Amino acid sequence: MPDELNFQYMIDTLQGAFIMADSADMTVMAANQLASIQLGLPLSELLGQPLARFVSKPSLDDILRNIQRQDLVYNLEGELCSARGRCFPVLLSARVVAWSYPTLIFTFSDHSQHMLMNELLKKKDELFERVRQLMPASDEGMAEDPDDYISGVLSAGQLLERTGIEVGHARRYHDPLAALQIHAEVVPIRNREPLGAYNRAHFRRMVSYLCVQSSRDGDLVGRHENGTLVMLLRQTTLLDAVKVAKRLQQRLGSFTFWPDGANCETSTCIGLSTWHETDQNARQLQIRLEAALAKARLTGRNTIVSLS
């Protein structure tokens, strides 16, 4: 076991708020700096405080009863309140560890930003619906998918046309050209019904929106005929395309989809490839993209596969 100073350094490195409490009286024995900041007390003042002072929903007694029943409470939705009275939503985990004496390990992460992002995306979804109602039904650009049209995602036909143009440009000027093919889905929740039509459409819209928002200047985002999204990356090598894919996967992974109040995570698989000077046309690039994505999906959730 590290000495007190190194132990503090260790818990300060954790990606989340961390608290240790004496299980006899539930007072705080140790905490990292993040817990101190989010609970609104200097670390020296936080130590010795009753943990129940900060736990709002569920109560600390309810959490302890859950621990008695199932040993570990993991990713439980709750609410904490700081010393100044600011209450905020969290995901918390807790367990009693039997060291020299029983100690409660209590960790949490502030989900205020996730809740705010979800609310913003909900407002954007409502805006989509309003814009759709205002757009003339005879607009030819909306024929394939009104949501993609509004969000700036190219249709399958437009994507095919622009891919041919970009490949021709890369061949003419010997510029690098890369592409990503993206498949995102909601991670199923045990004992819950599959998403209904409305939630599937909402999820599809939000993934499109996040991909467009995450793209760089000059990148093109389009809808493949099989329903996946394709991102064309001009002036981009394979190495740089991998970096773009990782950033995009992180962005999509931070989006928590909440249909009917359920906390659903997003799984994103990405296949990527680059144009070769030996390619005769854009179709060869597309074949490699599809193969890379298929391999990524076979490998498992949140996987990136590149085929050069």
The Cβ-side half-sphere exposure at 213, using a 13 Å CA radius, reads 12
Token representation of residue 275: 């144009």
> What is the model's pLDDT at position 143?
45
What percent of the chain stands above pLDDT 90? Answer: 33
Choice between 143 and 278, residue whose per-residue pLDDT is larger: 278
DSSP state of 49: S
CATH of the domain at 150: 3.30.70.270
Q: What is the mean pLDDT of residues 139-157?
A: 65
Which band of pLDDT confidence, cut at 50, 70 and 90, is reported for residue 140?
Answer: very low
Distance CA 93, CA 77 (A): 9
Name residue 224's amino acid.
H
How many of the other CB atoms lie within 10 Å of CB of 73? 20
> What is the model's pLDDT at position 188?
74
Distance CA 211, CA 116 (A): 19
pLDDT digits (tens, 9 = 90+) for 20-79: 998 889 999 999 999 999 898 999 899 999 999 999 989 999 999 888 888 888 878 889
> What is the model's pLDDT at position 241?
93
Q: At what angle do helices 282-299 and 156-173 cross, to 10 degrees?
A: 110
Number of domains in the chain: 2
Question: Does position 301 have pLDDT exceeding 50, yes or no?
Answer: yes
CATH of the domain at 63: 3.30.450.20
Which band of pLDDT confidence, cut at 50, 70 and 90, is reported for residue 183?
Answer: very high
Domain boundary among 110, 145, 166: 110
Note whether 247 and 296 are same-domain residues.
yes
Token representation of residue 47: 């130590």
Domain with 53, as residue range(s), is 4-110
The three-point CA angle 257-260-117 to 5° equals 35
pTM metric for this prediction: 0.58
Distance CA 134, CA 275 (A): 40
Note whether 64 and 160 are same-domain residues.
no
> What is the model's pLDDT at position 159?
87
Question: Does position 142 have pLDDT exceeding 60, yes or no?
Answer: no
Distance CA 77, CA 104 (A): 18
> What is the model's pLDDT at position 55?
93
DSSP state of 226: T
Answer for the pair 242, 278: CB distance below 8 angstroms, yes or no.
no
Collapsing DSSP to helix, strand or coil, 203 comes out as helix
> What is the model's pLDDT at position 3?
75
Domain boundary among 62, 82, 110: 110
Question: Does position 258 have pLDDT exceeding 80, yes or no?
Answer: no
